[in-house]
A = this chain, B = another copy of it.
Amino acid sequence: MNDQVKYVLDESRLPEAWYNIAADLPSPPPPVLHPGTGQPVGPDDLAPLFPMQIILQEVSTDRFVAIPEEVRSVYRQWRPTPLFRARRLERHLDTPARIYYKYEGVSPTGSHKPNTAVAQAYYNKAEGAKRLTTETGAGQWGSSLAFAGRVFGLEVDVFMVRVSYEQKPYRRALMETFGARCVPSPSEETNAGRAILAEHPDSTGSLGIAISEAVEAAAPREDTKYSLGSVLNHVLMHQTVIGEEAQQQLEQAEDYPDVLIGCTGGGSNFSGLVNPFIGRALREEASIRVIAVEPAACPSLTKGQYAFDFGDTGHLTPLVKMHTLGSTFVPPPFHAGGLRYHGMAPLVSHLKELGLIEARAYTQTEVFAAGVEFAQVEGIVPAPEANHAVKATIDEAVRCREEGVSQSILFNLCGHGHFDMQAYTDFFAGKLEDHAYSEDEVAMALAGLPTVAA
């Protein structure tokens, strides 16, 4: 028996190109629309916010996009990341399933986010930007852009969702250690923030609001660009190094997954793992089960509507077609701050519509119980977001046991929970509240959807 538990790749095996699923889709996703005209946006519409190389990647249909050597040289600090066989978890669950996980927690900030942060900082620097603005939920993204900005000599301003700013002071400290400026959102620094505060002085914030603030802070300034940590095509593409490495590592293991699992907030860690596998299945006309897992308190994929909507609450962004709970939706406070987005990446939504992926939702108490179970047998404490993937993996492994089938399951352990121990403390104290999203709430949030001719 191959008793190996960890599959490592020499840095010579670091991918040389990102994989772009647009090349293999049976139909393209709907275009991004200008909110004023209802017409598809062009590169010029996006130029105030993004460097041209990023804009071209956003609309590229090339199957592979070369990773600049400057980006690969930073990746090499922590990539390739390890792929683990969860043998202790398999024994603990008494399952015939073979469970693997790709572990992105070894990055400088403990999550998958630097994969795109480094690329975005590089392209912005190359095209002359001096400063980046962005939003962050739990702080994984903000700290990653802070790190990447520092590497390439860019200033970074982070609008952090206020509830996370208050609940997670240590991720804020991490951003500040990397030299970034961190602003609780909604803030008094932007029109969008002031408008929210005027109406809701106690607003706990949301990713949608923080995006509005970061976009507003960047757009008018020539030397300042905006960076987004998820949702957009180029962001998802930058994450595909995860799945590309996993494919090489599973070759070492002489195995191939029957089931792929990832948690979904905006959709980037999920896509980073699964897109190379889905692309291969499409090219080979093979089938593979792919499960997106989201919080029951913010269930865009499972309960949202597939419609054109704004990416932000202040309606400064173009319209994208996605599974959405409505751009004004503010999810209740829960600990997986990285999954508190009202919409879903258009590419992930498109895959869902094409029937290429499934989706399910869990409440936070059950995902933390799964996370503690995983930590106790595997020794890694997952981030609250990753616990959603852990929960689905355990459920699938139990299904394998009940059905007596030995399937191979691969999930993305997209980050560690070292900065989230307060959430674990709350879980042990029985203090986690579960908010399952009701049909009434869905209807109310969707009532504000923009009308577009699509």
Q: Given A4-B11, A106-B106, A421-B169, are A379 and B77 also a contact pair (CB < 8 Å)?
A: yes
| Residues of chain A at interface, number, CB under 8 A | 44
Cβ of A308 under 8 Å from chain B = no
B379–A424 touching, CB < 8 Å: no
CB-defined interface of A114-156 with B at 8 Å, one 1/0 digit per residue?
Answer: 0000000000000000000000000000000001001100000
Chain B residues lying within 8 Å of A376, measured Cβ to Cβ, are 150, 177-179
- Closest-by-CB residue of B relative to A148 is B379
CB-defined interface of A403-446 with B at 8 Å, one 1/0 digit per residue?
Answer: 00000000000001011011011001000000000000000000
B108–A379 touching, CB < 8 Å: yes
Q: Which of A3, A77, A171 has the most CB of B within 10 A?
A: A77
Cβ of A8 under 8 Å from chain B = yes
Q: Given A8-B10, A106-B106, A178-B375, are A3 and B173 also a contact pair (CB < 8 Å)?
A: no
Q: How many copies does the complex hold?
A: 2
Cβ of A356 under 8 Å from chain B = no
Chain B residues lying within 8 Å of A380, measured Cβ to Cβ, are 108
The docked-state distance in angstroms from the alpha carbon of A147 to that of B110 is 19
- Closest-by-CB residue of B relative to A114 is B379
CB-defined interface of A66-100 with B at 8 Å, one 1/0 digit per residue?
Answer: 00000001001110000010001000000000000
| Nearest Cβ on chain B to A19's Cβ, whole angstroms | 23
Cβ of A59 under 8 Å from chain B = no
CB-defined interface of A308-340 with B at 8 Å, one 1/0 digit per residue?
Answer: 000000000000000000000000000000000
The docked-state distance in angstroms from the alpha carbon of A88 to that of B378 is 33
Chain B residues lying within 8 Å of A150, measured Cβ to Cβ, are 376-377
- Pull 28 A–B residue pairs with CB atoms less than 8 Å apart, ordered by A: A3-B73, A6-B11, A6-B76, A77-B84, A108-B379, A110-B418, A150-B376, A151-B379, A169-B421, A170-B170, A170-B425, A173-B421, A173-B424, A174-B381, A174-B418, A176-B424, A176-B425, A177-B372, A177-B376, A177-B381, A177-B421, A177-B424, A178-B375, A178-B376, A179-B376, A416-B418, A418-B418, A418-B419
**Which are the 6 A-B pairs with shortest beta-carbon distances?**
A108-B379, A170-B421, A418-B418, A173-B421, A173-B425, A5-B76
Besides A6-B76, A171-B421, A176-B428, 14 other A-B contacts (C-beta < 8 A): A4-B76, A6-B78, A8-B10, A77-B378, A88-B151, A147-B379, A151-B379, A169-B425, A170-B425, A174-B418, A176-B424, A177-B372, A177-B376, A178-B376
